[in-house]
Amino acid sequence: MTPRSDWRGFCAVIAAMLVVMFGLPQVTGLFGLVQATVFIAMAMVALSQGFIWGFGGIMSFGQSAFFGLGGYTYAVAVLNMGDSSLPLVFAVVLPAVFAALLGYFMFYGRISDAYVGVITLTVTVILFNVMNSTAGDIYHIGNAPLGGFNGMPSIPPLNMPGDASAALDPEQFYYVCMGLLIAVYAMLRWLLTTRFGRVTVAIRENETRAMLLGYDPRLYKLIVFTIGGGIAGLAGCLFTNWGGFISPTVFGLSQSAQIIIFVLVGGLGTLIGPILGAVAIEFVISVIGTQQTLNADLILGVVLVVFVLLVPQGVVPVLRHAVQSLTQRRRRVPVGAAKEARS
Amino acid sequence: MALTALIGFNVLSSIAALILLSIGLGVIFGMMKIINLAHGEFLMLGAYATVLSTNAGLNLFVAMLVVAPVFVGLVGLIVERGIIRFLYGRMIDTMLATWGLSLGLVGIITTIFGTTVKGVAAPLGGFSIGPYQTSTYSLFMIAMAIIVVAGIWAMLRFTRFGLIVRATMQNPAMAAALGVSPPRIYMATFVLGAALTGLAGGVLVPVSGVSPTMGAAYIARAFITVIGGGAAMVTGSSLAATLFGFIDQVVTFKTTPVFGQVALLISAVIMIRVLPQGITGRFFRRSL
């Protein structure tokens, strides 16, 4: 794609998201907004997975580790501090630091792709086991009991900075979430246009060649992974805020699987794909939840298998390619178009 | 003294459980470099087959040693023909597809049987080590682990089929040139791995609860044992199981079972970092 069409696409996406942000409250009631808010939290974590997997080429099976860590960090910090501004920052920084440590451990050990998957998965299982066993009064951080398997209830929501008594109402919280999602999306798009972003994509395409050209893939992967961890932590914080509750199931395997399905369905190697995938899948799950015959796990599993076998590149790239081949048929654009559409 | 013997016995049975859990995965991974994330659900299916046929009046040992492996082997055959064979050589894609399969199987079993935990009482009673009581069934598990490992090793080492399998593992193109059909061998290996997993699921029934989500409790441990073991399926998995089972039980004795698991997983992660090719990638390289 040319820089100009790239720029046009970016503006179109931002405009569409702004329309949704301000349009949705006009057409739906409070219940719809509250539901949209959790979709946005999921879209945020999908965005982080889409970024590290689709652009950094890092196969993390444990993005839910950072998601859950962000949620727990916010919960513990806000229960101790009252005001929610610093806990929000902590919920981004702590998962990012954890991702940096884990990433250093993996990438500087030159561990291959599949084993990165296994290690991230194992870390998630460890966190799940540990948090599950923290029931009882002896497990607490400051004033915040960790609650073990039962989770932590009644976590205070975000409030106006500096004033702990002015908690945001659900509508305000919706605007905050959507605004953050747009901001993160724009930031990632910008990041990918910088020199750093280009080198990252080059490393994904051919790590050895990038290394021979003098770039250090380990460092780039580490930075990408750290950014991804921070965004996932932010998503976890929003999720915790949404329900006022967090439990170890955020570290569960099906949570990790869901995040991967969001990205895979939406489209690998795009940023809008994971967002749309998350919203679509979450919507389907919430519809399934209202009826009794079919189990959500079953549907998710079938979706995952079907997409891996039949549409491995996801919906958005397929659509984009279709649109491009329609508009470009007259100009007879050569073979390269299909290849570029993926990048 | 009796306490030391008891801990030693617990370490042994923990190792045996790990070997049984991971050997099916190890066979599939060692042969085809496929990481089967539905492994835990294969265990679960074996366990359900055992519980259901026991409740239908079948002898427990017939159920776990015959029905479970045959049933899960058949499931493995369907899975290999329907999904896996399109994905050979695409490691990440097979992980994703089998993960989808695992979710799907959990969904199906939940829909049919609900989420209640089923179980069968441990047979064979107990015996005592000094003042401590322990279960005779653990002895049976240790024996099963030894039989399974020895059986696979003997099959690979001494039979014609084992020779063909090893040849296909080393160089599929050359094996094909000599008249072997690698896809067929892959299929047979996958079914064998699935059947072994079903057997493990059956054997675990008396010592664990049976529920649709039980697979998740085992998958990480089985995984890490196989990866820690490295390319040689029998030696690698056994060595890794020995190491991790030992760590697990010792930490469990000092703290709680949860931290035993955590110590196992952490030590495994560190080991992957130090030995990315597994134990048999560095030592005992010529073993099976």
* CA separation for the pair A123, A121 (Å, rounded): 5
Neighbouring C-beta atoms of residue B269, cutoff 10 Å = 23
ipTM of the complex: 0.77
Residue of B nearest to A253 (CA): B216
Task: Inform me whether the pLDDT recorded for A338 exceeds 70.
Answer: no
| Minimum-distance CB partner of B92 among A59, A111, A252 | A59
CB contact under 8 A, B96 and A264: yes
Nearest-CA distance from B144 to chain A in Å?
27
Ranges of H-type helices in chain A: 3-27, 30-50, 63-81, 85-107, 113-132, 170-193, 195-205, 207-212, 217-243, 253-266, 272-289, 296-310, 315-328, 336-342
Residue A95 has a pLDDT of 93
β-strand partners of B132: B129
Task: Inform me whether the pLDDT recorded for B124 exceeds 50.
Answer: yes
* CA separation for the pair A184, A175 (Å, rounded): 14
Neighbouring C-beta atoms of residue A287, cutoff 10 Å = 11
Across all residues in chain A, what is the average pLDDT? 83
CB contact under 8 A, B97 and A118: no
Is A25 part of a structural domain of the chain? no
Q: Which of residues 245-304 of A touch B (CB under 8 A)?
A: 252-254, 257, 260-261, 264, 294-304
Task: Inform me whether the pLDDT recorded for A4 exceeds 80.
Answer: no
- C-beta separation of A125 from A62 below 8 A: no
Testing the interface with B: which of A53, A125, A127 to mutate, by most B Cβ within 10 A? A125
- C-beta separation of B136 from A323 below 8 A: no
* CA separation for the pair B245, A270 (Å, rounded): 43
Residue A341 has a pLDDT of 45
Instruction: Please choose, from the candidates A20, A32, A23, A64, the residue with its C-alpha nearest in 3D space to the C-alpha of residue A283.
Output: A32
Residue A337 has a pLDDT of 46
CB contact under 8 A, B99 and A122: no
What does the block give as tokens for B86?
């399109």
Neighbouring C-beta atoms of residue A275, cutoff 10 Å = 27
Say which residues have a Cβ less than 8 Å from residue B138's Cβ, sequence separation at least 6: B9, B12, B13, B16, B207
Lowest mean pLDDT among A277-281, B90-94, B189-193, B284-288: B284-288
Tell me the domain boundaries of chain B.
12-117+134-282
Instruction: Please choose, from the candidates A206, A252, A198, the residue with its C-alpha nearest in 3D space to the C-alpha of residue A224.
Output: A198
| Minimum-distance CB partner of A114 among B35, B102, B265 | B35
Handedness of CA A102, A104, A109, A113 (dihedral sign): positive
Across all residues in chain B, what is the average pLDDT? 83
Instruction: Please choose, from the candidates B21, B53, B46, the residue with its C-alpha nearest in 3D space to the C-alpha of residue B202.
Output: B46
Please report which confidence band the pLDDT of residue A180 belongs to, taking 50, 70 and 90 as the band edges. very high
pLDDT in tens, B179-234: 888 888 889 889 999 999 999 988 888 888 788 888 877 887 888 888 877 777 78
Instruction: Please choose, from the candidates B235, B220, B234, B230, the residue with its C-alpha nearest in 3D space to the C-alpha of residue B266.
Output: B220
Handedness of CA B171, B172, B173, B176 (dihedral sign): positive
Is A250 part of a structural domain of the chain? yes
Task: Inform me whether the pLDDT recorded for A2 exceeds 60.
Answer: no
Inter-chain CB pairs, A–B, below 8 Å:
121
* CA separation for the pair B167, B176 (Å, rounded): 10
Average pLDDT value for residue range A181-196: 92
pLDDT in tens, A8-67: 888 888 888 888 888 888 888 888 888 889 899 999 999 999 999 989 888 888 889 999
Residue A51 has a pLDDT of 93
Nearest-CA distance from A132 to chain B in Å?
9
CB contact under 8 A, B273 and A130: no
What b/e sequence results for A54-72 when a residue is b if at least 16 CB atoms lie within 10 Å of its CB, and e otherwise? bbbbbbbbbbbbbbbbbbb
E strand map for chain B:
126-129, 132-135
CATH code for residues B12-117+134-282? 1.10.3470
Task: Inform me whether the pLDDT recorded for B258 exceeds 50.
Answer: yes
Residue A82's region, left for phi above 0, alpha for psi from -120 to 50, else beta, is: left
Domain hosting residue A188, numbered range? 30-312
Q: Could you tell me if A121 lies within 8 Å of chain B, comparing CB atoms?
A: yes
Please report which confidence band the pLDDT of residue A292 belongs to, taking 50, 70 and 90 as the band edges. low
Q: What's the half-sphere exposure (Cβ side, CA atoms, 13 Å) at B128?
A: 4
Count up the domains in chain A and report the number: 1
Nearest-CA distance from B265 to chain A in Å?
7
Average pLDDT value for residue range A329-336: 53
Task: Inform me whether the pLDDT recorded for A151 exceeds 50.
Answer: yes
pTM of the model: 0.83
* CA separation for the pair A45, A261 (Å, rounded): 12
Is A47 part of a structural domain of the chain? yes
Average pLDDT value for residue range A217-235: 93
Instruction: Please choose, from the candidates A200, A209, A272, A198, the residue with its C-alpha nearest in 3D space to the C-alpha of residue A13.
Output: A272
* CA separation for the pair A246, A72 (Å, rounded): 7
Which residues of chain A make contact with B277, given a CB cutoff of 8 A? Answer: none
Task: Inform me whether the pLDDT recorded for A330 exceeds 70.
Answer: no
Nearest-CA distance from A108 to chain B in Å?
9
Q: Which of residues 311-330 of A touch B (CB under 8 A)?
A: 312
Residue of A nearest to B101 (CA): A301
Average pLDDT value for residue range B82-101: 82
Please report which confidence band the pLDDT of residue A329 belongs to, taking 50, 70 and 90 as the band edges. low
Q: Which of residues 68-127 of B touch A (CB under 8 A)?
A: 83, 86-87, 91-93, 95-97, 99-108, 110-111
Residue A300 has a pLDDT of 80
Residue A342 has a pLDDT of 44
* CA separation for the pair A116, A253 (Å, rounded): 16
Pairing mode of beta strands B126-129, A144-145: unpaired
Residue A340 has a pLDDT of 46
- Per DSSP, A159 falls in state B
Residue of B nearest to A121 (CA): B220
Residue A222 has a pLDDT of 93
pLDDT in tens, A65-98: 999 999 999 988 888 887 778 888 999 999 999 9
pLDDT in tens, A87-144: 889 999 999 999 999 999 888 877 777 778 888 888 888 888 888 877 777 777 777 7
Higher pLDDT among residues A335 and A80, named by residue: A80
Residues of chain A with pLDDT > 90, as a percent, come to 26
pLDDT in tens, A252-279: 777 888 888 888 888 888 888 899 989 9
* CA separation for the pair B87, B91 (Å, rounded): 8
Task: Inform me whether the pLDDT recorded for B24 exceeds 80.
Answer: yes
Say which residues have a Cβ less than 8 Å from residue A53's Cβ, sequence separation at least 6: A59, A60, A263, A268
* CA separation for the pair B222, A173 (Å, rounded): 43
* CA separation for the pair A337, B19 (Å, rounded): 51
Q: Could you tell me if B277 lies within 8 Å of chain A, comparing CB atoms?
A: no
Residue B75 has a pLDDT of 92
| Minimum-distance CB partner of B104 among A252, A298, A308 | A298
* Helix orientation angle between A30-50 and A170-193, rounded to the nearest 10 degrees: 20
Is A341 part of a structural domain of the chain? no
